[in-house]
Amino acid sequence: MNYAIVGFGKIGHALAKAFARNGIEVAVATTRDPESFAADAAAIGPTIIPKTLAEAVKADIIFLAVRFESHPEVAKALHNWKGKTVIDAMNTQAPLEQLGGRPSSAFIAKVFTGARVVKGFNHLVAAVLGQDPAVHGGRRVVFLASDDDDAAAEIGTLAEKLGFAHIQLGRLSEGGLLVHARGKSWGHLIFKDLIAFDR
Ligand SMILES: NC(=O)c1ccc[n+]([C@@H]2O[C@H](COP(=O)([O-])OP(=O)(O)OC[C@H]3O[C@@H](n4cnc5c(N)ncnc54)[C@H](OP(=O)(O)O)[C@@H]3O)[C@@H](O)[C@H]2O)c1
């Protein structure tokens, strides 16, 4: 299994830190030549590999860490996203009508044709997400939602490998709405920094 983070801004950096902390290799891509952010990647750790977008999307599991308005450009990187698991870490202020009445991740699932989409890693500010999730004797929680149970389970396993606890919220249009930005109102779990204590 290999991984990529598309977008190497605030959330991309926070995610990359989690991979580096656990010695897991991950490709990172932006709109720019990988050379231009190689030093930035190296400063996080040796497992953070700068790549072009075209190379990065060869990964099996791909985090979307771009601004919502940039996702159509990213989607064009592959004709068909079948076989890929896409983690939608984006939030959007776009009104529901603009999303065809669907939650934004369900909208993303249509744009990234064929991909298995999991919403997650989007509910905390980057400065918190980027911290070591081992806190107060427990583990910081990430919430996951998907219409594909297997994909949600796969990303749950990845979240654990990255040191987080995870809570499955169910389908995008059900529990997923708890971490969904809906126009100007936000799901009740957005910004809720929860810690899980293993018994
Ligand atoms: N910041 C937060 O605290 C936070 C918290 C939760 C969720 N989020 C969500 O996370 C997403 C990213 O936010 P951010 O604050 O990290 O944004 P950001 O700092 O502006 O970073 C955006 C990144 O996306 C890259 N990008 C733009 N278009 C691209 C394309 N077509 N292909 C590849 N890369 C592209 C940019 O690369 P270039 O430099 O080449 O333009 C940049 O590295 C947003 O959807 C936001 O809602 C953010």
29 pocket-lining for ligand 1 (C-beta < 6 Å): yes
Amino acid 73: pLDDT: 97
Mean pLDDT, the chain, as a whole number? 96
32 pocket-lining for ligand 1 (C-beta < 6 Å): yes
10 CA distance to ligand 1 centroid (A)?
A: 7
150 pocket-lining for ligand 1 (C-beta < 6 Å): no
Output the six-digit token pair for 4: 């990529």
Could you say which of 3.40.50.720, 3.50.50.60, 3.90.230.10, 3.40.30.10 is the CATH number of the domain covering 3-196?
3.40.50.720
Amino acid 199: pLDDT: 67
Q: What is the mean pLDDT of residues 36-53?
A: 98
Amino acid 121: pLDDT: 98
Amino acid 101: pLDDT: 84
Tell me the C-alpha distance between 129 and 14, whole Å: 6
How confident is the model over 153-183, as pLDDT tens digits? 999 999 999 999 999 999 999 999 999 987 7
Torsion angle in degrees (nearest 10) through CA of 183, 188, 191, 192: -170
Amino acid 135: pLDDT: 96
pLDDT surpasses 70 at 33: yes
pLDDT surpasses 90 at 83: yes
How confident is the model over 17-26, as pLDDT tens digits? 999 999 999 9
Tell me the C-alpha distance between 59 and 57, whole Å: 5
87 CA distance to ligand 1 centroid (A)?
A: 14
Amino acid 95: pLDDT: 78
The residue whose CB lies within 8 Å of the most ligand 1 atoms, and thus the one to mutate among 63, 66, 112, is 66
3-state helix, strand, coil in the chain (%, to 5): 35, 25, 40
Amino acid 198: pLDDT: 83
- Residue having the nearest C-alpha atom to atom 25 of ligand 1: 7
Q: What is the mean pLDDT of residues 66-70?
A: 96
62 pocket-lining for ligand 1 (C-beta < 6 Å): no
Output the six-digit token pair for 162: 């990255």
Residue among 51, 53, 42, 41 at smallest CA distance from 13: 41
9 CA distance to ligand 1 centroid (A)?
A: 5
